[in-house]
Amino acid sequence: MLTVTLLGTGSPMPSADRAGPATLVSAPSPDPEKPELAEHFLIDAGRGVLMRLAAAGLGAPNLTAVLLTHLHSDHITDLNDVITTRWIMTFEPSPLTIVGPVGTRSVVDALLASLEPDIGYRVAHHEDLDGPPPVNVIEVSDGAIDLGTATIIGCAPTDHKPVEPSVGFRFAHGGASVVTAGDTVPCEGLDRLCEGVDALVHTVIRKDIIENVPLQRMQDTLDYHSSPTEAGETAQRGGVGTLVLTHYVPPLLPGHEDDWRQLAAKGFTGIVEMGDDLHQITIGSN
Ligand SMILES: [Zn+2]
């Protein structure tokens, strides 16, 4: 079984109701008496991610790994918060594993460099903190990702050019499988990842609306995101059961869900899920 929690369904546009892009994929503990054995994978770390994680009853110490689909600012805004909070809220060595495309290491190094004053203050003040936040950065491009977890993880390149490289992730556990696509147009790598999965979480923008906004900067976003219809077509090609839309541009307004759903359903015959932050979808039953 896997549970998908839409932690942040927003986009670069600040919203009072939607945190920045972030999705949680969780696999249950094999022992109900040991909840700490559950696995929690955070995909992207947008604005407000730890507030939403707290609302889901979890914190940075619970994260098995952070996986970044790409290095656009809206997807990594709060990575520094995750790194620092993990560091100061764990009391035994607990390195944070950060998986991402090539370039992730230099971004994490730069974040740690920006945190140097804070790290200095805390190391000086807390006797049991004796060094910077421990991180384990793994750069990936295509294939299996071995984190030693019960959940089987893989990735493949996506197409978010000129943002390059970018990757999507696939998680499988107990017969359930889910892909988190991130920002991408339809592409071979994503098709490969989606083959036969139960659910696809896909960021989308309403091209039919954005193409009418007379701002070149908005027009620029059209060529490297998928529309709900394109996301639906990707899901259909993969034989995906449930398509989960997120990263709504423009923000999804109450009562307009059916418009988005109908666009996705143009080329997709499965279930279309969408919702507000903290919307949860359970995949599989064991
Ligand atoms: Zn992006």
pLDDT, tens digit, 9 for 90 and up, residues 35-75: 889 999 999 999 999 999 999 999 999 999 999 999 999 99
Residues 6+ apart with CB under 8 A from 82: 42, 45, 49, 50, 60, 63, 66, 96
Structural domain boundaries in the chain: 2-283
Structure tokens at 12: 């670069």
Say what the pLDDT of residue 211 is: 87
pLDDT at 256 over 70: yes
pLDDT at 203 over 90: yes
Q: How far is the CA of 226 from the centre of ligand 1 (A)?
A: 11
Q: How far is the CA of 169 from the centre of ligand 1 (A)?
A: 15
Q: How confident is the model at residue 286 (pLDDT cuts 50, 70, 90)?
A: low
Q: How far is the CA of 4 from the centre of ligand 1 (A)?
A: 20
Amino acid identity at 97:
T
Place of tokens 């620092």: 84
Element at 189 (helix H, strand E): helix 188-194
Mean confidence (pLDDT) of the chain: 95
Q: How far is the CA of 240 from the centre of ligand 1 (A)?
A: 23
Residue 282 has a CB neighbour count (10 Å cut-off) of 13
Say what the pLDDT of residue 144 is: 98
Structure tokens at 199: 């659910």
Q: List residues bridging with 40 in a β-sheet.
A: 26
Is the pTM higher than 0.85? The answer reads yes
Say what the pLDDT of residue 219 is: 84
Q: How far is the CA of 246 from the centre of ligand 1 (A)?
A: 13
Most confident of 141-145, 202-206, 221-225, 246-250: 141-145
183 is catalytic: no
C-alpha 54, offset from chain centre: 16
CATH number of 2-283: 3.60.15.10
The active-site residue out of 17, 31, 44, 74 is 74
